[in-house]
């Protein structure tokens, strides 16, 4: 069994959709980035790539490449997982924590689990997603952005 960890963060900005774990969440602000800025997807993608020893999302999908501008990060996760499978591994489970002061994530967790599971062709029961605030502290606490941490196992 192999274990990988991934971390990602994106900054809030007006005029952008808020997409986390492949789910569009109603909110006054969205996240900025070259792709759709889905920090949950990006952290999970880095976790599976890390577990397989395949580098990271920035190497696979460089933000200087116009092909990935506005990219659907669920598709990037699917593509990264294909590389993982080609390297001889398959996904076991993941545990993800998303950290944001707002909006409330609870109503969207099941939808995220389903979308990420569909991308990896696994059961949603293998994708755990937890959400926390940062208790008002620091850049997350001031509502400047969102962070996500993911751990994944491969066998």
Which of residues 100 and 155 has its CB atom nearest to Mg ion in the complex? 100
- DSSP secondary structure string for all residues of 106-153: GGGHHHHHHHHHHHHTS-GGGEEEEEE--TT-HHHHTTSEEEEEEEEE
Residue range at the interface with Mg ion (CB under 5 A); choices 8-16, 24-32, 62-70, 98-106? 8-16
Q: DSSP letter string over 1-62? A: -EEEEEEEEEEEETTS-EEETTEEE--S-EE-SSS---HHHHHHHHHHHHHHT---HHHHS-
Q: Which residue is nearest to Mg ion (CB)?
A: 42
**Helix, strand, or coil here: 84?**
helix
Residue 42 contacts Mg ion per CB under 5 A: yes
Does the footprint of Mg ion cover residue 101 (CB under 5 A)?
Answer: no
For residue 123, the minimal CB distance to Mg ion (Å) is: 26
Choices 6-14, 17-25, 60-68, 103-111 (CB under 5 A): range interacting with Mg ion: 6-14
Q: Please report how close the Cβ of residue 51 comes to Mg ion at its closest, in angstroms.
A: 18
Q: Are 39 and 20 in contact (CB under 8 A)?
A: yes
Q: Select the residue interacting with Mg ion from 6, 8, 19, 153 (CB under 5 A).
A: 8
CA angle 36, 40, 46 (to 5 degrees): 95
**Separation of alpha carbons 14 and 10, rounded Å:** 13
Query: Nearer to Mg ion by C-beta: 11 or 27?
Result: 11
Rounded least distance, CB 108 to Mg ion, Å: 18
Q: How far is the CB of 111 from Mg ion (least distance, A)?
A: 20
Residue closer to Mg ion, measured from CB, 42 or 108 = 42
Interface positions with Mg ion (CB under 5 A): 8, 42
């Amino acid at each position: 069994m192999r274990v990988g960890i991934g971390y990602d963060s994106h900054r809030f900005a007006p005029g952008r959709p808020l997409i986390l774990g492949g789910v569009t969440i109603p909110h006054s602000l969205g996240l900025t980035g070259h792709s759709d800025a889905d920090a949950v997807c990006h952290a999970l993608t880095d976790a599976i790539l890390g577990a397989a020893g395949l580098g990271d999302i920035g190497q696979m999908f460089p933000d200087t490449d116009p092909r990935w501008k506005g990219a659907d990060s669920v598709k990037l996760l699917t593509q990264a997982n294909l590389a993982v499978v080609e390297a001889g591994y398959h996904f076991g489970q993941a545990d993800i924590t998303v950290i944001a002061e707002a909006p409330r994530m609870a109503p969207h967790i099941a939808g995220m689990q389903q979308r990420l599971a569909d991308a990896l062709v696994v059961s949603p029961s293998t994708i755990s997603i937890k959400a926390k605030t940062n208790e008002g502290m620091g850049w997350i606490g001031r509502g400047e952005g969102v962070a996500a941490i993911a751990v994944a196992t491969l066998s």
